[in-house]
Amino acid sequence: MTVSDPRIDPKGAREDEQITTDPSNPVERMRSGSMTLSLAPWVIAAVVLAFLPMVFTNNSTLTIMNQMSITIVFALAYNMLLGQGGMLSFGHAVYAGVGGFAAMHIMNMSDFFATIPLVVLPVFAGLFGMGLAMIVGSFSTRSAGTVFAMISLGVGELIAASSVIIVAFFGGEEGISGNRTYAQPFFGVEFLQQLEVYYLTAAWVVIAAALMYLWSRTPVGRMANAVRDNPERAEFLGYSARWVRFYSFVASGFFAGVSGGLFAINYEILTEENLNTASSGVILLVTFLGGVGYFFGPIIGAIAFTLLQTVLSLSTELWAFYAGVLFVATVMFFPGGLAGLIMMHVPVFKLGKSKTLIKPYLYTLLPAAIGLLGLAALVEMTFHFRHAATGDNEMTVFWMTFDSHALIPWLIAAAVTAIGLGIAKVTAPDLREAWSEANTAGGKS
């Protein structure tokens, strides 16, 4: 069945086992480089998380930050598969969802729930996610690549579809809900307030992220990378590619379950939406946007995506469309994601030439951004023109209210788009030149 392809890459990696990063690129090679375990980033993260509520005090911001934290844990768990293990799953929401549902059922078992503190609930959720991952992984991890992706999709659809049939566990259409405050108080804290929940979630994020990072440094975690890059060679070294995949899958299921447990604690309700393919797609989007090549990629992705979702969905109906465009553009032009973009600049900084890039960046990216905003305005106006109720001609884009059926706003938006993108196109060669100059050692600095 495997057909050799004329456009196969010359590096000789097996075509169905390739990863998104390019090993011949020195920047991308660095990700697998140092084995140092530095405490500094973790301490900084913990301190920042501890002080954030003092800056952002209102409840809605806390909710957004909680949402971010849950997504971070889930995206990191997902990246254990996609980035570190090279396994593409289209149904990973199932493990988070089942973990969450299990946590919800524990919340509703009042006798048992009253004897455990709420802070350990995510562990139970994780164990359920892990249990399911063990069952599914026992047959799905036999191969990576397309077959794995197809099984993950099939199992995901299967469980999402059974959620409306198996009402006893999944609660049918309306899902199941519970009350987190019935748990045994944890040092007197009953988690009635949003702030207390925030600290619980934040603590879990740091713990889970640290554990996942440590996992990626264990021999099993390192072997996952080896199996991703070249399973045959890993087998010759005496490791079973299948079992290495299985361990990654199970660990990923555990942490996905933890994120589901955190979701249960935060929202106190779980529905079919936590399981379905759309949720699985979102987590793939988040992880890929952040960058699968680096451990911290999904963290950036989760933060950026949650912000984008919150800000955009408040201001436009079309946010899913923009997210889709962004996703496809990322896959096509920046397969390293945001983390890849950031790490591209490390050599420039090491060469001490970062200053030479500021001006070209300003000249190209600023007009490009303005041009894209103009394009977005055009899109919004088209949408309004086509779908607004007849007679409702007034619309607001970028805090300006105008008549979407008049000609002048269209001309202005089109002009802004053309001029912005035009300038960017003219200055792009300069930027490219400055970039290659900044990446070359020596010369004028």
Minimum distance from CB of 251 to other proteins (Å)? 20
- Binding residues for other proteins, rule CB under 8 A, total 62
Between residues 330 and 417, which has the closer beta carbon with respect to other proteins?
Answer: 330
Residue in 167, 341, 400, 415 binding other proteins, rule: CB under 8 A:
167
Q: What is the three-class DSSP state of 336?
A: coil
Structure tokens at 238: 């005496």
| Closest CA relative to residue 143, chosen from 271, 240, 24, 219 | 240
88 binds other proteins (CB under 8 A): yes
Q: What is the three-class DSSP state of 58?
A: coil
Residue in 34, 219, 387, 407 binding other proteins, rule: CB under 8 A:
387
288 binds other proteins (CB under 8 A): yes
First to last CA, the chain: 54
Beta-carbon contacts of 266 under 8 Å, excluding residues fewer than 6 positions away, are: 63, 66, 67, 70, 197, 201
Rounded Cα distance, 365 and 371, in Å: 10
59 binds other proteins (CB under 8 A): no
Pairing of the two strands 269-270 and 400-403: unpaired
Distance set, CA 322 to CA 313, 328, 334, 338 (Å): 10, 10, 16, 17
3-state percent helix, strand, coil for the chain, nearest multiple of 5: 70, 5, 25
Q: Is the dihedral of CA 10, 15, 21, 23 positive or negative?
A: negative
Minimum distance from CB of 23 to other proteins (Å)? 11
| DSSP annotation of 402 | E
Alpha-helix runs per DSSP H in 86-230: 93-108, 110-113, 121-140, 145-162, 167-170, 194-217, 219-229
Secondary structure element (H or E) that encloses residue 397, with its range: strand 394-397
Structure tokens at 38: 């530095």
Minimum distance from CB of 335 to other proteins (Å)? 5
Minimum distance from CB of 290 to other proteins (Å)? 13
Minimum distance from CB of 166 to other proteins (Å)? 5
Minimum distance from CB of 142 to other proteins (Å)? 7
Interface stretch with other proteins, choices 149-157, 341-349, 397-405, 407-415 (CB under 8 A): 149-157
Ranges within 308-327 binding other proteins (CB under 8 A): 318, 320-321, 324-325, 327
Residue in 15, 235, 268, 437 binding other proteins, rule: CB under 8 A:
15
149 binds other proteins (CB under 8 A): yes
Ranges within 335-364 binding other proteins (CB under 8 A): 335
Minimum distance from CB of 42 to other proteins (Å)? 30
390 binds other proteins (CB under 8 A): no
Residue in 31, 68, 77, 90 binding other proteins, rule: CB under 8 A:
90
Between residues 239 and 322, which has the closer beta carbon with respect to other proteins?
Answer: 322
Between residues 180 and 384, which has the closer beta carbon with respect to other proteins?
Answer: 384
Minimum distance from CB of 5 to other proteins (Å)? 6
Residue in 194, 277, 315, 356 binding other proteins, rule: CB under 8 A:
277
In a 13 Å sphere around the CA of 334, the CA atoms on its Cβ side amount to: 18
In a 13 Å sphere around the CA of 185, the CA atoms on its Cβ side amount to: 5
Chain contacts with other proteins (rule: CB under 8 A): 1-7, 9, 13, 15-20, 22, 82, 86, 88, 90, 139-140, 142-143, 145-147, 149-151, 153-155, 157-158, 161-162, 165-169, 277, 281, 284-285, 288, 318, 320-321, 324-325, 327-328, 331-332, 335, 379, 382-383, 386-387
